[in-house]
Amino acid sequence: MYSLDLIKPDGRRLTLYARQEINPEITAPSPFDAPLNASPHLRWHPLRGEWVTYAAYRQGRTFLPPPEYNPLGVTTDPAHPTEVPAGDWDVAVFDNRFPSLGGVSAVPPALIVPSKHAGGHCEVVVFTKDAAASLGALPLAHIELLLQVWGDRTDRMAQRQDIAYVLPFENRGAEVGVTLHHPHGQIYAYPLVPPVPARMQQEAQRYYGEKGSGVLQDLIAAERRAGLRMLYEGSHAVAFVPACARYPYEVWVAPIEPVESFIRLTSDQRADLARALKTVLLKYDGLWQRPFPYLMAWYQAPVDGQAHPESHLHAEFYPPYRTRDRLKYLAGTEIAAGFFAMDALPEEKARELQQVEVALE
């Protein structure tokens, strides 16, 4: 993997990644001239016992893009710079212009609840230069590179004392609120371990303490023995609809052996994880012969300098559809109680996805 670190005119960082050497003459564009000097802040939610971040920005300059303008496409017209340059790169990562976390440290407003500057960092990950592609359509070697990029970003964040947890994710599709359709994801690096990973960490630690093995490791072994919900089973990685799915087409992708983060993946594991991931994405798009929306989140261990034998890197996909034409709305019981109600059985949904034939290159 080759990489090139650049600074944008507005001060944000850009890293280009490629499978081949990158021309060091490339310069970083930006649609914005000057720094935003944004300073999001956190407020304590005393009833839920969690922090909420507030980032109320207004875009600084008048911005009249041409009709076809794609801020994540490569810059072709210097009069309308985008977020990424033309050139021989495969994946690009840059600081989010409107971060929910990070930005400039400033004194937070005085409030009736505790508040503080929202430390952390938000990045955008452009998966490919090809605006018409999708993550699943990329060659396996390109997907492997992306897994390496997520590792490099996690590693960089892990060096920072102010960051506790790194979450790479992709929101895909208008159904989940995505307005830019160029293939891309985001990375949130949190100044604390957020509620869901904290809960998962607590459960994994308890299980590991009791059994001496990983909770996901043991679940994967049980799913493989049961067989009926598996979507991909390679020598190092698997994909399956979990028996406890909370979304109709929920799928998990993971290395078979517990690996605590992207940083620790071997190249064999990474290659097979790319195959598992591509298989799921092709099955999703093949199911109804149209782009399949989802939220894809990659869970890994907190970056606290400790060993985490209980943690097990994996992706969870939460698609918003429950049938071809019907969305699953999160409503009363899910949102208000955190208690999920499913009107489909994971076994049935797994069968639908199993029947979609896919060909890896």
Active-site amino acid positions? 184
Q: Which is nearer to its own copies, 22 or 198 (CB)?
A: 198
Q: Which of 204, 256, 277, 287 binds its own copies (CB under 8 A)?
A: 204
Q: Which of 230, 342, 356, 358 binds its own copies (CB under 8 A)?
A: 342
Q: Which is nearer to its own copies, 242 or 286 (CB)?
A: 242
SS3 176: helix
User: H-helix or E-strand containing 171?
Assistant: strand 165-172
> Which two tokens mark 305?
């300098």
Q: Which of 95, 144, 223, 272 binds its own copies (CB under 8 A)?
A: 223
Q: Which of 84, 216, 253, 287 binds its own copies (CB under 8 A)?
A: 216
Site string for its own copies, 45-84 (x = CB under 8 A): xxxxxxxxxxxxx---------------------------
14 contacts its own copies (rule: CB under 8 A):
no
Output the CA–CA distances (angstroms, integers) from residue 227 to 118, 188, 203, 222, 244, in the order listed: 44, 34, 25, 8, 15
230 contacts its own copies (rule: CB under 8 A):
no
If binding means CB under 8 A, how many residues of this protein chain bind its own copies? Answer: 75
Report in angstroms how near the CB of residue 147 gets to its own copies at its nearest: 18
Report in angstroms how near the CB of residue 280 gets to its own copies at its nearest: 16
> Which two tokens mark 326?
């019907």
Q: Which is nearer to its own copies, 16 or 158 (CB)?
A: 158
203 contacts its own copies (rule: CB under 8 A):
yes
Site for its own copies in 297-336 (CB under 8 A): 297, 299, 316, 318, 327, 329-333, 335-336
| CA pair distance 168, 200, nearest whole angstrom | 16
Q: Which is nearer to its own copies, 147 or 215 (CB)?
A: 215
Q: Which is nearer to its own copies, 89 or 317 (CB)?
A: 317
Site for its own copies in 237-256 (CB under 8 A): 243-246
Q: Which is nearer to its own copies, 79 or 336 (CB)?
A: 336
| CA pair distance 135, 354, nearest whole angstrom | 20
Output the CA–CA distances (angstroms, integers) from residue 8 to 2, 5, 192, 193, 214, in the order listed: 19, 10, 28, 30, 43
Type of residue found at 240 = F
Q: Which of 106, 113, 141, 360 binds its own copies (CB under 8 A)?
A: 113
Contact indicator for 150, 313 with CB cutoff of 8 Å:
no
DSSP 17: E
> Which two tokens mark 40?
């999001």
353 contacts its own copies (rule: CB under 8 A):
no
Choices 37-45, 75-83, 87-95, 135-143; region in contact with its own copies by CB under 8 A: 37-45
Handedness of CA 167, 197, 351, 291 (dihedral sign): negative
Site for its own copies in 134-193 (CB under 8 A): 165, 167, 169-171, 176-177, 186, 188, 190
Site for its own copies in 123-142 (CB under 8 A): none
**Is 39 buried (19+), middle (13-18) or exposed (0-12) by CB count in 10 A?**
middle
Q: Which is nearer to its own copies, 246 or 264 (CB)?
A: 246
337 contacts its own copies (rule: CB under 8 A):
yes
Contact indicator for 328, 232 with CB cutoff of 8 Å:
no
Least Cα distance to 135 among 341, 315, 256 occurs for 315
Report in angstroms how near the CB of residue 353 gets to its own copies at its nearest: 17
Q: What is the 3-state secondary structure (H, E, C) of 177-230?
A: CCCCCCCEEEEEEECCCCHHHHHHHHHHHHHHHHHCCCHHHHHHHHHHHHCCCE
Q: Which of 137, 138, 215, 231 binds its own copies (CB under 8 A)?
A: 215
- At 225, phi and psi to the nearest 5? -65, -45
SS3 124: strand
